[in-house]
Structure 1
């Protein structure tokens, strides 16, 4: 079968590899329908931070159709369409026993611990698969995983209904957070991104207002979402947050931040870490069923496996306007 494999930092190849063997007990074979390229895929490509096995097939945002069932698998049938939960947790540590699988002490992800969706087929544990409603379009359904991530960040903020929210970064998570806030009825959503066309697209789809992080100090907001991964953007966002406010940190950071802690102490500003998602996947699927057309409007393009290396280049260079590039094997 054809697959995209990450061999090392900055070394991504389209190759022909053996198809997966029959699924083991508790595992399920999938024919990949679609997979999304995530910012963390690009981060791993650029830094090698999460390369634990090489070569590996990336792709933790994926939907597929069940083609074979391992022994003991229940609740799924051949032909079912499913979306993958990206988190590969151990099930034995204190966090897992408490139901906090996203905080597992040995947490890994599909595409790292096991091969992911940048291929024609894959094999995954049954416990990571959610059946999809058949009337949810593929190009919306494949965004269930990043929607769950964005939803987790929004939940962690514990927003007041009418309070303004400023989102730094209109990539997939920032844009989907704006979509979630719009769906929840928030009327004052502000977005900032150095790519003006992308910010404009998010504003058009969600009803958000495009602002600059450099022009909000006289009109500070209570809540912010940092979805850029830029320490410079976080510093700017901090200046836009009013006393008693909070920022959800969901972007994967490059570099470290020099920060005077008194800024947080004296103004009682909270920085809230948001890692992956907890139990938001079913709600994310339901939200996409309501907002499918708007979610699909955020898609940049659909590509084949041969086009993935060039898509990585364009995404890293910031040449895209749409938020999500979808692979169709």
Structure 2
């Protein structure tokens, strides 16, 4: 079968590899139909992901159809449409015992620590595959995973109806956070340097957009919230500067959620945290968010495919990578199609 493999940083190819087989009675073989390209895939391509060993078949935003199940699989059957939950955890460490396998001491992610879904077939345990409606497009199934990232940020921020939320960054992750914050009943502000990204954010529910650097978040939030600022600030940019600004722009008794992996220290006086009694929460991957996100998708409350701006056949992966490198501001989400659906059915 064919797969997309990063042999080493900057070196990506469509290669021939052996088709995987079931290894345990709990395994499920899926015919991959669509895979989203994530920022982490780009980091692996650029050599900036410290967890990856090369060569690596990338891809963790996967939608497909069940082709074969092990004898111990009872929740899925041949023909089911599924979305991949790409994390594997040990179940016994402190994090797992606390119900947070997304930060397991032995965490592994398909497409990062082990081979992922950019291949024609993929095997993973039943627990990693979530059934979706039979009429849901495969590309929408693939993008359930990034929606769960937004759901996790909303969960970590404890967003409640009526809250004011400020999201920093209107890229794919920021948009996912926006969509899920609106599902929680929040009033949402979102900022970005690119006007086209903000235009799209408005289309999918943003109440207020802030076009940097022409508008200042502090001034806009002060005016629109009568000086209260944002009850929840989600930093989907992840720089030392944005994190420090997020702490500054959070309201009294507010929460700051950071999704970044930046290693540069931020200069934040403890006075800001203590005086406002802020909660600062990291948000990584997701914890048990798939069932609720899939419910919302199945009920057509959330449409993951709406964030797609570009589609490519999987053998056009180099073309997709080139676009993401040269014109990132014009790409909301690029999806690789492994097999076209028969729209006549």
The TM-score, its normalising length taken from structure 2, stands at 0.86
For this pair of structures, how many residues does the alignment match?
Answer: 328
Distance 1:314 1:235 in 2: 31
Larger relative contact order (Cα-Cα within 8 Å, sequence gap ≥ 6): 1
Partner of residue 180, structure 1: 180
Q: Report Cα offsets for 1:135-173 as digits up to 9, x if no partner.
A: 322232221111111111101112242222111111222
Partner of residue 136, structure 1: 136
Distance 1:292 1:64 in 2: 21
Contact 2:81–2:138 (Cα < 8 Å) also in 1: no
Q: Report Cα offsets for 1:184-230 as digits up to 9, x if no partner.
A: 332x2111111220121011122432114662324122211111233
- The change in CA–CA distance for 1:97 and 1:233 in structure 2 (over 3 A counts) is closer
Q: Report Cα offsets for 1:104-142 as digits up to 9, x if no partner.
A: 110010113432111111111112111111132223222
- The change in CA–CA distance for 1:235 and 1:63 in structure 2 (over 3 A counts) is same
Distance 1:6 1:256 in 2: 31
The residue matched to 1:242 in structure 2 has which SS? strand
| Structure 2: runs of 5+ lacking an equivalent | 223-228, 339-345
Q: Report Cα offsets for 1:230-267 as digits up to 9, x if no partner.
A: 33332333332233322111234364433333332333
Partner of residue 217, structure 1: 218
- The change in CA–CA distance for 1:233 and 1:318 in structure 2 (over 3 A counts) is farther
Correspondence list, 1:1-329, <5 A? 1-186=1-186, 188-212=187-211, 215-218=216-219, 219=222, 220-253=229-262, 255-291=264-300, 294-329=303-338
How far has the Cα of 1:306 moved from its partner? 2.3
| Structure 1: runs of 5+ lacking an equivalent | none
Contact 2:51–2:113 (Cα < 8 Å) also in 1: no
Distance 1:61 1:130 in 2: 12
Distance 2:253 2:327 in 1: 34
Contact 1:314–1:320 (Cα < 8 Å) also in 2: no
Distance 1:286 1:312 in 2: 32
How far has the Cα of 1:60 moved from its partner? 1.0
Distance 1:310 1:256 in 2: 36
- The change in CA–CA distance for 1:217 and 1:320 in structure 2 (over 3 A counts) is closer
Distance 2:301 2:158 in 1: 25
Contact 1:288–1:295 (Cα < 8 Å) also in 2: yes
Distance 1:207 1:97 in 2: 37
